[in-house]
Structure 1
Amino acid sequence: MTFVPSDRALQDHLVRITERAAVAARDLVGSGDKLAVDGAAVRAMRRAFASAPVAARIVVGEGEKDEAPMLYGGEMLGTGGPEIDVAVDPVDGTRLAAEALPGSVAVMAVARRGALFDPANVFYMEKLISLAAGATLSLQRSLTENLSILASDLGRPVSQLRVAVQTRQRNQRYIDEVRAAGAIVVPFADGDVVESLRAARGEGVDLLIGIGGAPEGVLTAVAVAASGGHMQARLSPQTAGERDRADAAGQPYGAILRLDDLVASPGVFVLTAVTDAAGLAAPHVVDGAVVTESIVIDGVAEPRTVVRRHPMVP
């Protein structure tokens, strides 16, 4: 059975999977226990996958970094149907959810079998994402040069560019260079996927740059491709073990990965808010039901928002 990204029935099944994860995490939002938040979402997402009419293979999921026995790379799920590869994060921004802060989401991206890049348990990736100046922005250029190109493309001075950078020590050099160039740093601690999506859609951020999660990078690539944005990446292993895994998988970690290296054919990106995020409201109770808000991006139709009611479980 052929995978068709714009198939609304299939998309609805995918949305139900991220909705289940968000609803399961809801009772633990604000608990202070990010492992419990993640565990509840993982279990709920896997149960939802079990009845989905797809032949799904997890390419990017939980695993060694998360010490998770479910939704691991290579796991096969679904009742049969279109053969798809899946990148999934039951909760991106577990700390945000645990502390009841905005920006936490349940997220998934799917594409035809064999289309998604497998980071081979290399946990970190350098990423450059923008909506504008796609053909000329490159990780092979200096950040200062990229900012100049982007400013010219947007018709604005560099001083008005907003650049999202995750606040980690490994990214301090990007923060320093953005400020030295005169642009505005938009710092974020967690929520890589949401900030990447903002950059890809030009929603308050002109560029995202820095080293973040490789799994989130693959997830984001599907959304960037479907949004018409620009993305480059390269694996950035932080330990000898990660470098060994990249070498064993034949993935040179100095090589530039372009968007079609990360996702080789059109896919579907699905996101459900766990806390308020991406312009969506967190799961909330209305007239005795839990209401979730999700977004679906398939690159064919305009991104659509799905608002759905779920019976409350005693």
Structure 2
Amino acid sequence: MTDNSPRASSVLDRVLVLEMVRVTEAAAIAASKLVGRGDEKAADAAAVEAMRAALNELPMDGTVVIGEGERDEAPMLYIGERVGLYRPDSGTPGNGPKIDIALDPLEGTTITAKAGPNALAVLAIAEQGHLLNAPDTYMDKIAIGPGYEPGLVSLTRTPSENVTALAKAKGCEIGEIIACVLDRPRHGAIIAELRALGCGIMLIPDGDVAGVIATSDPDTGVDIYLGQGGAPEGVLAAAALRCIGGQMEGRLFFRNDDERARARRWGIEDLDRIYKLEEMASGDCIFAATGVTDGSLLKGVKRRQGGMLETESIVMRASSGTVRRVSGQHYKGVA
């Protein structure tokens, strides 16, 4: 349920919605210089550095709850890092709003390296304590768009049961349903089950944030998202659906004891818990994304004559239910 309380609104009002777009624009522009260059790490590092610099210019005391990993694994934008003008080590006097931040400076590093579709710079913010502080592990996910009875689909059911229930709710044949699934060997059983059912499948190479969001846009043709992807991307996608409507569930998946121990360090005790949408992103929240390469959600960064850059972004807010598309022209090559 959207939190429209004055306290919630006033906190995020101090960090302007369009400032979030400036942050994702900066990351997208930096990453776009390495599109098709075959260097995933360099593209990711460029996006991370640009996003961090932009965040540190904002009048807030922000904490990264979804980032590039833990401190010993990521030099910048790690989980727990403080950002903003009023972070404790900034030396800037002031008492800015305390904000939780989920981010992926480059959602689709492989996509960017190969000049594929749907690479994004992504960011979500909420009041402190309103975004799931998830470790950098995998997450089982299921999502559909708005307008359906709550609980229509669930991770407790099989893919066939979920698709059958969705087709019945839509009043269509199962063969008319399109499921979006990451093209990974681990999804072989899901893909086989869906094809045996007669369901259509849109396989995507990467970019499951865009894949989840696609369920809310009739123009994409995607009806349901199924499969396992990154937990950070799951929280980001949940923040987007909180703004535009839809249903989503997530369950953390741990490959080894080290990942289980990391989860417990972040306060997660029930390792088999299924998280509802509102448990991954609650209260008022803002989601922003800028395209790095062309995709179903956004156009990528374009370089024009004279050094001008064009960007396309989307920004959403839960409390107001607004979605804004922002076209930017950057004549100095920076956001």
- Give, in angstroms, the shift of residue 3 of structure 1: 5.1
Q: TM-score with structure 2 length normalisation?
A: 0.88
Of the three residues 145, 157, 162, the one matched with 2:173 is 157
User: Secondary structure of the equivalent of 1:29?
Assistant: coil
Q: Are positions 1:58 and 2:64 aligned together? A: yes
Aligned residue number for residue 299 of structure 2: 281
Structure-2 change in CA distance of 1:115 and 1:155 (3 Å): same
CA contact (8 A) 1:61 1:215 kept: yes
Q: Are 1:192 and 2:208 matched, yes or no?
A: yes
Partner of 1:308: 328
| Letter of the 2:160 counterpart | T
The amino acid across from 1:302 in the alignment is T
2:270 to 252, 256, 263: 252
Structure 2 unpaired stretches of 5+: 1-5, 87-95
1:1-314 equivalence runs, <5 A? 4=9, 7=13, 10-64=16-70, 67-80=73-86, 81-121=96-136, 123-132=137-146, 133=148, 134-202=150-218, 203-248=220-265, 249-286=267-304, 288=306, 289-299=308-318, 300-313=320-333
In structure 1, the residue corresponding to 2:38 is in which secondary structure? coil
Tell me how far apart the structure 1 counterparts of residues 312 and 333 of structure 2 sit (CA, whole Å): 18
8 A Cα contact 1:200 1:230, kept in partner: no
CA distance in 2, matches of 1:236, 1:272: 28
Going from structure 1 to structure 2, the CA distance change for 1:301 and 1:256 (only over 3 Å counts) comes to closer
**What percentage of aligned pairs have identical amino acids?**
39
Tell whether the 8 Å contact from 1:2 to 1:83 is kept in structure 2 after alignment.
no
Q: Which moved more, 1:66-75 or 1:232-241?
A: 66-75
Q: Deviations over 1:139-162 (max 9, x none)?
A: 112221111110011111111100
Distance 1:251 1:201, change over 3 A: farther
Question: 1:204: how far off?
Answer: 1.6
TM-score computed with the length of structure 1 as normaliser: 0.93
Partner Cα separation in structure 1 for residue 72 and residue 211 of structure 2: 21
Change in CA separation of 1:177 and 1:284 when aligned onto 2, cut-off 3 Å? same
**Once superposed, what is the RMSD of the aligned Cα atoms?**
2.2
Partners of 2:188 and 2:130 in 1: how far apart?
Answer: 33
Q: How far apart in 2 are the matches of 1:46 and 1:11?
A: 17
Q: 1:90 to 1:261 in 2, by over 3 A?
A: same
Distance 1:222 1:279 in 2: 16
Instruction: Give the AA of the match of 1:61.
Output: G
Task: Say if 1:11 and 1:205 are closer, same or farther in 2 by CA, change over 3 A.
Answer: same
